[in-house]
Amino acid sequence: MSHPDSHPRRQFKYYEFVMAAFVTVYLCSNLIGPAKAAQLNLPGWGPVTFGAGVLFFPVSYIFGDVLTEVYGYARARRVIWAGFGAMIFASVMAAVVVALPPAPTWTNQPAYEIAFGSTWRIVLASLTAFFCGEFVNSYILAKMKIRSEGRHLWQRTIGSTIFGEGVDSLLFYPLAFWNSGLIPNELLPTIMLTQFVTKVGVEVLFTPVTYKVVAALKHAEREDHYDLHTNFTPFSVKV
């Protein structure tokens, strides 16, 4: 077990790459996914409609699991804040670019507004849900790792995702769409449940991949962090 103060200035080989991947997936989930409603016709079930962003969010939680499992809660917290800051910047710049007057020869403004013109209510709902959900996910995983003494990784990754994605879904949809006129209020519970089950299902499906990535990183970094003395406040970037 590594003490959180054992290597305060230690440099890792792949930490920055995992951070970059996490932030990239999170930005894609908000800038690419929400613009499209997709539908698949599942055998024995029928047509299922979902927001394309559901393809990205579970992957960000997998990265969050990997970060906390290998590098610990404090370093995962820094990455969450990096993603939060990147999304604020991207949202502000998207609003600025959408608001710029289009050139007379450019006829794609309506399509551009559909793709990148999210309302601030949806942006704020997304930021709130991401912030709370990711920190719950990381906190639960870190605490479960201590209690299980590092055994049964699958229980930690799936268990933390259930809580994290649950918080995310419970916050995002009511904050973004309740009484908005975009989605009938009575449909919100069904949509929330569908998205939640889908996200957790992706986590379960990718569990073997998570095992391999975690094992490879622990070996390469010579790190398997236990948050025995960690300050779990989310309002810090200190390692």
> What secondary structure letter does DSSP report for 39?
E
Q: What is the model's pTM?
A: 0.87
| Residue showing tokens 């889908």 | 198
Q: What is the pLDDT of residues 190-209, one digit of tens each?
A: 888 888 888 888 889 999 99
Q: Is residue 53 scored above 90 in pLDDT?
A: no
* Residue 40 located in a structural domain: yes
Q: What is the pLDDT of residues 15-38, one digit of tens each?
A: 999 999 999 988 887 777 665 667
| Residue showing tokens 């604020």 | 88
Beta carbons of 57 and 15 less than 8 angstroms apart? no
Q: Is residue 45 scored above 90 in pLDDT?
A: no
2-16, 94-108, 134-148: least confident range:
2-16
Q: What is the dihedral of CA 201, 205, 209, 215, to 10 degrees?
A: 70
Q: What is the pLDDT of residues 54-107, one digit of tens each?
A: 777 778 888 999 999 999 999 999 999 999 999 999 989 988 999 999 999 989
Percent with pLDDT over 90 in the chain: 56
* Six token digits for residue 102: 């289009």
46-50, 97-101, 234-238: least confident range:
46-50
Range of the domain at 60: 15-221
Give the pLDDT mean for 141-159: 95
Q: Is residue 227 scored above 60 in pLDDT?
A: yes
* Residue 27 located in a structural domain: yes
Helix (H) or strand (E) holding 38: strand 37-42
* Residue 227 located in a structural domain: no
* Residue 5 located in a structural domain: no
Q: How many helices (H) and strands (E) in the chain?
A: 8, 2
Q: What is the pLDDT of residue 70?
A: 97
How far is residue 24's CA from residue 16's CA, in Å, rounded to a whole number?
A: 12
Q: What is the CATH number of the domain that holds 130?
A: 1.10.1760
* Six token digits for residue 231: 């300050």
| Residue showing tokens 């994605």 | 165
Number of domains making up the chain: 1
Beta carbons of 81 and 237 less than 8 angstroms apart? yes
* Residue 229 located in a structural domain: no
* Residue 236 located in a structural domain: no
Q: What is the pLDDT of residue 34?
A: 61
How far is residue 108's CA from residue 98's CA, in Å, rounded to a whole number?
A: 11
Q: Residue type for 12, please?
A: F
